[in-house]
Amino acid sequence: MTAAQPLPTLEITALEKRFGETQVLRSIDLKVQNGELVFVIGPSGSGKSTMLRCCNRLEEPTSGAIHVSGKPMLGIPRKELDRMRLQVGMVFQGFFLYPHLTALKNVTLAQRKALKRPRAEAEARALEMLDKVGLKHKADAMPSELSGGQQQRVAIARALALDPKVMLFDEPTSALDPELVGSVLKVMRDLREGGMTMIVVSHEMQFAREAADRVVFMDGGVIVEEGPPEEIFGNPKSDRLKAFLSRVSGEAA
Amino acid sequence: MDTIIDAFFNIDIMRQATPLLLKGAWVTLQLCAVVILLGLCGGLALALLASSRSALLRLPAFVFIDIFRAIPPLILLILIYAGLPFVGVRVPPFVAVCIAFLLNNSAYFAEIFRSGIKAIPRGQMEAARATGLSPSQAQAWVILPQAIRNVLPDLLSNVVEIVKLTSIASVVSLSELLYSANMARAVTYNSSPLVMAAGLYLLLLWPLVRVISRFQRGLSISH
């Protein structure tokens, strides 16, 4: 008798996405288990960001299914979608903090309006999350007064404060100056140690080697190869992955 | 020289006209308060429709905006005040002015609000929706506060235009500032009351105009 498979925190089934004539994603299948950090790599235009954005329906999939802890993300009424989105935290390449609100208010807004938490509770939770990303002392700062790295950490706190089941990171360090990347990666490492389920689209290969449970390589809208980081980086099988890795290491050198 | 002073800056006549002109200024202020509020509300509603993703909502909003930005408000006003009685609808002057201004101002305010909304990066809406905010919550708490702040100088400029434009209410015998001044001119056979009315508009609008140019200077420094 085999043990029942645990319910994946995020499950992508036969996901397809077309923009007009262009097929961006074709039959993507991916299961992410609780506490897992899945790292997605691939050349630009390979569809990795689109896949991520389909997971919380910032992009509308053409067909397929997305489930979060067994509950469908597709084919549900808008109000239900808003509730489901609370369980899927998203961190963007461009941070997108609300520039007219303080760091604290950035983190309390959705707690108050979407989760309907009372003000005191939302603020306590926000301070806790800002502390977690090392920015409690910046609670009253406006986004324009923060560095890019600090803005991104506030954006992570904003998503975490809603107690998501899974966090999606869409190239979270690509817009940062090199010296600020480390502070964001450190927060992500802490999150992983805290057991957060994460999908990370990024070019930080070193981080993938150290922190990922599994690396997924995408090219041309399909998952070409996936496996533990030591397999993907140490023993790539497909020619496309080999070519990609040599290009990337060439850039880094 | 004396003739000019006598014809335009006659202190005696101004003193006589003062009570009438102050009454007119008060009517102008009331009128402004009502039509500006109506225009802001109508404009915001139209702008939200015009920014909608549904063409069914967007199209009528654009048609409305285009039509009423192109029709001179004076024609609108006379049509409403003098034309509607022919189909059995009689509106008092104040209401006629309010309707004409609502149609005209909402169209102008809508364009200002819409340009403000359009200038907010798409990521702001995406970030808000990704945290579970509904489309209307995202508009109310994320998009509009930023949009309105960005177009504040334009909104204020439009307010100045509206205050000046309320003087067209004089053609439907609403005893606002210009109507009162013109009455005083006719009775005294002297233009000084008109000069005085212009002075009152200046007094009313000069602080606002200062604020706007300070705003614009501030913006050009911070950008």
**Would you state the pLDDT for residue A94?**
95
Residue A215 phi/psi, 5° resolution? -115, 135
The residue in chain A having the minimum alpha-carbon distance to the alpha carbon of residue B132 is A82
The residue in chain A having the minimum alpha-carbon distance to the alpha carbon of residue B146 is A100
DSSP state at residue A177: -
Residue A168 phi/psi, 5° resolution? -105, 130
- Chain A residues with CB inside 8 Å of B146's CB? 98-100
- Work out the average pLDDT over A31-48: 94
Cα separation, B201 vs B97, whole angstroms: 19
Q: How confident is the model at residue A249 (pLDDT cuts 50, 70, 90)?
A: confident
**Would you state the pLDDT for residue B120?**
96
**Would you state the pLDDT for residue A251?**
62
User: Looking at this predicted complex, what is its ipTM?
Assistant: 0.92
The three-state secondary structure class of A251 is helix
B126, B132, B134 member nearest A58 (Cβ)? B126
When scoring B120, B131, B222 by the number of chain A Cβ atoms within 10 A, the one with the most, hence best to mutate, is: B131
pLDDT of A112 higher than 70: yes
The residue in chain B having the minimum alpha-carbon distance to the alpha carbon of residue A111 is B131
Mean pLDDT by 10 residues, chain B (223 residues): 85 90 93 96 96 91 95 95 90 94 96 96 96 96 95 94 93 90 91 93 91 78 50
Q: In what order do the strands lie in the sheet with A10-19?
A: A22-32, A10-19, A63-68, A71-72
Cα separation, B147 vs B139, whole angstroms: 10
The rounded percent of chain A whose pLDDT value lies above 70 is 97
Interchain contact, A85 vs B129, CB within 8 Å: yes
B53 in reach of chain A (CB within 8 A)? no
Tens digits of per-residue pLDDT, A131-188?
999 999 999 999 999 999 999 999 999 999 999 999 999 999 999 999 999 999 999 9
- Chain A residues with CB inside 8 Å of B120's CB? none
**Would you state the pLDDT for residue A120?**
97
**What is the reported pTM?**
0.88
Question: Which of B57, B32, B59, B44 lies closest to B109 in space, CA to CA?
Answer: B44
Residue by residue, DSSP assigns B31-80 as HHHHHHHHHHHHHHHHHHHHT-S-HHHHHHHHHHHHHHHHS-HHHHHHII
- Work out the average pLDDT over A219-248: 94
Interchain contact, A82 vs B133, CB within 8 Å: yes
**Would you state the pLDDT for residue B223?**
45
- Residues in CB range of B180: below 8 A, 6 or more apart: B20, B21, B23, B24, B27, B193, B197
pLDDT higher for B174 or A97? A97
Q: Report how far Cα B78 is from the mean position of its chain's Cα atoms.
A: 18
- Residues in CB range of A25: below 8 A, 6 or more apart: A15, A16, A17, A47, A50, A51, A54, A61, A221, A222
A88, A96, A113 member nearest B133 (Cβ)? A113
Q: How confident is the model at residue A253 (pLDDT cuts 50, 70, 90)?
A: very low
**Would you state the pLDDT for residue B47?**
96
pLDDT of A16 higher than 50: yes
**Would you state the pLDDT for residue A2?**
55
- Residues in CB range of A220: below 8 A, 6 or more apart: A46, A47
CA A115, A116, A121, A126 torsion-angle sign: positive
pLDDT of A252 higher than 90: no
